[in-house]
Structures are given as C-alpha cells and as structure tokens.
Structure 1
C-alpha cells in the first residue's frame, strides 16, 4: 500500500526563514527529473503539485510531501523516490532555478496563463500588500528571535549542569562497535524540519519519522538530547551511514530527531513516541541536580515568556497569511484557469503514460 510522508523543507525560526530545500532529495537517492514551478501567488502551483501527487499515489508509489511553513495546506514540493522525480515551487522566499535545464531540470511556468497587461493596473495595490506582508514577517521573526534567546539562555544553564564525558560514554554504550558493519555508502546528511510555526499554529509531522523504525526516546532537556544526537551523527557519518536530521522549529541548529536508515533506527526527543519507543535513554541523570535547582527560577521565567513570544509570532504569521490571501485573490482575477487545468491534466497524463 502506498504511503505519504509529510515534512517541512523550510521554517519560520528564531534565525529568520531557514530553508533546507537541499534535503528534499536525499543525497543517496538518484534523482532523474526535477520540475521547477514558476508563477506568482494564486496561479495554481499548489493545485498542480497536489494533482500530480494524487495520480502518483493512486498508481502505487510512495510519496514525500513537503509543506509550506507560510501555509500548511500548500505544498513546497512533492518527491517520489522510487522513480527519482521531484516537483517543487521555485518562487520566493525560496527562489530556485534549474541547474541543468532541459537535461534533468525542467521549468513549468504557470505565469504564462496570467494576463500581465491587465494585472499591471493593480500594481499599487499589490505593492501595498507586499509591504504589509513584509512587515508582518519582520514582526514574526522579531518575536521568534526573542523566544530563541530565552531558550538559548536556558540551554546554557542546562549545558553548565551536564557531565559531558558521561554523555559521550552514553553514546558509545548505545552504539557499541562489535556487531556494527560499515555502511554501503559514504556518510551523508539529509536536513529537514518535521515541525514548523505556521499561520495554522505549531504543526508537527513527526509520525512520518517514526513509522518503520526502531525508536529510541531520549528524555531530559532538549539541548542535552540534541548534543547526544550530534555525537551520534558524527559516529554514524564515520561509519558511512546516511543520516536524516530533523531540526527544531525555533532553533534550527538544535536536533529534534535523527534517523539512521542503515540501522533502521530513529532517535527522538518527542514525548509522543513513548508508546512506540523500543528503548528509553534518561539524559536527566547526567545533570547535576544541585545546579538544576539553582537555575530553576530562570528556567521557569524563560519558558513562560518563550511561549508568549512564540504565540505572538504565530499571530503575526496569521496576519501575513491574510495579506497573502488578499494578494492571491487579485492574481486569480487575471488567470486563465481553464488553460491551466487543461495543461495540468495533459502534463500528468503524459507523465503517467511515459512511466
């Protein structure tokens, strides 16, 4: 039975918009064809990708859907690993252009169905909306930056309470070396998000990560779990294993989940994995309890205001989406959607015939 895994290739973070679009195609997957969709807002790129994905799913292929952090109901990309085909949105804020146009990469420009001459009469309105959208994103990133600073401050104190040598020993004991074989390929990384702050709230697709793997749950502060997984990544890459690394929505350098396919293993910090966990590693035991008690007031203060700033950031994202929706309505007035529908259906039919 076909499956669909859901990820985010980019995120609204404390560091601004961070994209891991290079992770849409894992480095150990051979990609035969990449289609880059172009055109303005509301021209049908999302509908195009969803129809393509639907037909491929019905044909029995496993899919990977990459959702947009600015609107979780929209797709940034669709990837079909079995046939080595990727379709992605190449417009701002993640502008992508073909590297080998005509050979591997192809452009699908839905903007050709846009009546640009008539749309030009709306240029002042579009510009005004664009400036509003930009302003709301500035607010979002300011709030998330503040939230990130508070979490980073707590992380500093957690790290100060950690016995790092004991952490290294934990990772060494977890893997051991006697029965492990070298990987078939050189160690490579695929970086993505499983979670994101969106106008619809905090969205998490971590179930897409757990399925099909032995799950090890790390309990304790997230920064300690991240350090554990970073040590595990170094070891896995040394052994020649491929690593899928999923980062925090707020702090895009902090690891939340790690998948090592060669070992059929998922290491995670998620409490929702409790019922699925084959093993639990308690990292809290590696921290000095006296220091933790000393810092407790700081932890509580930081967490209280971190949550408030994150909520403010999500509120600004909602305002930005409303502006973007208004902009899409303008573009749709001047789109030949009948032409887009005919082109989309023909493209999908021809693609399925050539498989």
Structure 2
C-alpha cells in the first residue's frame, strides 16, 4: 500500500483574503441499490427549510442557485446540493451558519425529505404559470411524467444488473442490515429486498458517538459519464491518499481512530456502492483522507465506460425531462419569478439578521 500526502495551497486550508467558497455535493444518489437519499439524516440538524414547489422548468433551480451565490458573495458559507437526476442542476442550498436550507421539491426523493421539528416555508411556483396553457398540456404532462418514472426505474435496473454483483469478500465482515453512516436510508422499492455484505467500517462507525457524522456523494451520473466534484471539493484540504489493495483496511483503521476525535466528520460514499467509503473529510482539521487520486475516476473504480444500454437509458430520460421542462417554461411569467426571488432573498436576509441579534 502506498500513502501520499498533499498539502493544500492555502495555509490552514483557507485563503483569508478571499470570500468563502461554496461546497458542491450530492445529498442523493442513483446507485446499484436504487435511489438513495441522505437528506433525512442531514435534516435532523436543520432548523429551517424553504421548500420551492412546482413543476420542472419553472425557475426553482435557478432561483436556488442565484440566492446561494448571493449569500456566498455576502460572506456566508453555502453548500450547493446538486440534483442526482440532473447533476448540472441545483436541488438545494444549505446555509451552514444557521443550518437553513432551500430545497427544490421536484428534484428530491418524493415524500422522504420532511423532518420533524424543522420550520418549513413553502413557495409555490405554479402561481407564476399560465394555468390555461398548462391545462391544455395536462395529458402530455402526465404521459411524460410516467415515462420519466419508467426511465428512472430502467436506469436503476441496469445499474443493478451491471454493478450489483461486485463483492470484496476479504474486506467485509458478516452481512447485517445495519449501515450506520446511512441511519435513515431511503432506497427505492425496486431494491427494497436487496441484501449484501456491508463494510467492516460500520463496526468503527457504530462507536463514533462524540463526532458529528454526515454522509454525501461527490459523483453524479449523466449520459456523458461521471460528473466528478471531488477535486473541487477537496481543493483547499490537506490530503492523505491511500493506494493499493490495502486501502480499504487503512480507511477502516482511520475510522476506528476517529472514534475519539469528537468533531465534524464528512464521509464520502461511493456513487454506485453506497456501502463503500471513498473518503473521510475532517473540516475542522482541514484534512481529507482518500482512496487514490480524487481526480482519477479509475482509482475509485469508475473508469469503465458506460454500457450502451445505460447511456441510452440516461439519454432517453434526460430528453424526456427536457420536454417536460419545455412545457412548463412556456407558461411561466419569469418577471414575476425574478420579483419573487428578490423578495425571498430579502426575507431570508431579514430572518438571518434577526437570528444573529437573538444569538448576540
């Protein structure tokens, strides 16, 4: 096994002369075990959520992105949550200082994003649509939504067929149903009965009581291949990289040692095999521990080109989504959407100011 150390370009991992940079990651993933959402686990720490309702193409993702960038310019630390179904789109943003989030209801796992105790503010984008025009396209909208649903299911089936059989026996303990880094896992019914061995790392994670553990993905799937966010996410972190066959055991040892740290730990899951951990990030220590080079997909077992069946299923589903978005977009009054975006941003800023004064 080889170990490489890479220092960040800024002392302490932060350039104090610049505004904070936004982190980009996926809170959900399309894996060989179905569609997995990590949002329920994340939301246990959230205090407020602004939920944007409405069909695709009505301006929700753009609104989320623009508000996130504005808050970033104002000096707030912002996490940008990419859409697992459309990696180039935003499914949400998280304002880390306050644990407040803005979510696109359409882009996240249906009916599985709500969390008790979270204050919710709903914004309905459908009121900015011409309802008469939408009504004329109702049957077409229902048809496209059904085809998209079948397309997503087909993608899951192909992933299960092509990647479902990989097992690294030497790195696993006895199989059980526990996945402690996915304590409130949501997976699609198609793979509800899927069984399989889970990494020995779970034994170490069960012992981490003092540390705040959060899991997410840094790779998104699209017809062109993998969208790899890892190099950008880890830019300002000192990095320790494990290479070779013993990398998995080394990661297990790191997790066991992390038991006593009592700090924030971010776990990066494999985009196809959510039982495998690609990296462990310690934000408070400005340190990232990774399997191989985060810039090389081959090191993460993602170097093989997509099969023709998978590429076709992804491309067909994307085209259906584009057609559905086009129907909604033609009905939207974007002047009203822009006005609402300004009002929503101002409301968030006022609420944050009140929060700061309350804390002080």
TM-score, length basis structure 2? 0.72
Tell me by how many angstroms 1:120 deviates: 2.5
Instruction: Tell me how far apart the structure 2 counterparts of residues 228 and 311 of structure 1 sit (CA, whole Å).
Output: 36
Matched, 1:54 2:69: yes
RMSD: 3.1
Q: Which one of the candidate residues 220, 226, 229 is aligned to 1:196?
A: 220
Q: Which one of the candidate residues 34, 45, 58 is aligned to 1:16?
A: 34
Instruction: Tell me how far apart the structure 1 counterparts of residues 233 and 44 of structure 2 sit (CA, whole Å).
Output: 14
Q: For 1:307, what is the secondary structure of its paired residue? A: coil
Distance 1:220 1:188, change over 3 A: same
Tell me by how many angstroms 1:187 deviates: 2.0
Matched, 1:261 2:283: yes
Q: For 1:71, what is the secondary structure of its paired residue? A: coil
Instruction: Tell me how far apart the structure 1 counterparts of residues 248 and 109 of structure 2 sit (CA, whole Å).
Output: 27
Aligned equivalent of 2:266 = 244
Instruction: Tell me how far apart the structure 2 counterparts of residues 261 and 208 of structure 1 sit (CA, whole Å).
Output: 15
Note if contact 1:237-1:243 (Cα within 8 Å) is conserved in structure 2: no
Mark the structure with the bigger radius of gyration: 1
Q: For 1:271, what is the secondary structure of its paired residue? A: coil
Instruction: Tell me how far apart the structure 2 counterparts of residues 310 and 256 of structure 1 sit (CA, whole Å).
Output: 23
Tell me by how many angstroms 1:76 deviates: 0.8
Aligned equivalent of 1:74 = 89
Q: For 1:87, what is the secondary structure of its paired residue? A: strand
Q: For 1:136, what is the secondary structure of its paired residue? A: helix
Aligned equivalent of 2:312 = 315
Q: How does 1:1-355 map to 2 (within 5 A)?
A: 1-2=18-19, 3-22=21-40, 24=42, 27=45, 31-91=46-106, 93-95=108-110, 96-97=113-114, 99-100=116-117, 104-150=119-165, 152-153=166-167, 155-156=168-169, 186-221=210-245, 225-272=247-294, 307=304, 312-353=309-350, 355=353
Distance 1:214 1:45, change over 3 A: same
Distance 1:81 1:113, change over 3 A: same
Distance 1:55 1:158, change over 3 A: closer
For each residue in 1:65-86, what CA deviation from the matched residue of structure 2 results, as whole angstroms up to 9, or x when unmatched? 1111221221011112134321
Aligned equivalent of 1:285 = none
Aligned equivalent of 1:300 = none
TM-score, length basis structure 1? 0.73
Instruction: Tell me how far apart the structure 2 counterparts of residues 227 and 196 of structure 1 sit (CA, whole Å).
Output: 26
Tell me by how many angstroms 1:100 deviates: 4.4
Unpaired runs of at least 5, structure 1: 161-167, 173-182, 275-302
Tell me by how many angstroms 1:273 deviates: 6.5
Unpaired runs of at least 5, structure 2: 1-17, 174-199, 354-360
Distance 1:53 1:319, change over 3 A: same
- Worse overlay, 65-74 or 255-264: 255-264
Instruction: Tell me how far apart the structure 2 counterparts of residues 311 and 235 of structure 1 sit (CA, whole Å).
Output: 43
Distance 1:99 1:336, change over 3 A: farther
Runs of 4 or more, structure 1, over 4 Å off, are 23-27, 157-160, 308-311
Tell me by how many angstroms 1:311 deviates: 5.7
> Hey, which of these two has a bigger chunk of helix by percent?
1
Instruction: Tell me how far apart the structure 2 counterparts of residues 311 and 56 of structure 1 sit (CA, whole Å).
Output: 41
User: Aligned residues, how many?
Assistant: 296
Note if contact 1:37-1:107 (Cα within 8 Å) is conserved in structure 2: yes
For each residue in 1:278-336, what CA deviation from the matched residue of structure 2 results, as whole angstroms up to 9, or x when unmatched? xxxxxxxxxxxxxxxxxxxxxxxxx89x9355563243112101101101111122223
Q: For 2:106, what is the secondary structure of its paired residue? A: coil
Note if contact 1:5-1:64 (Cα within 8 Å) is conserved in structure 2: yes
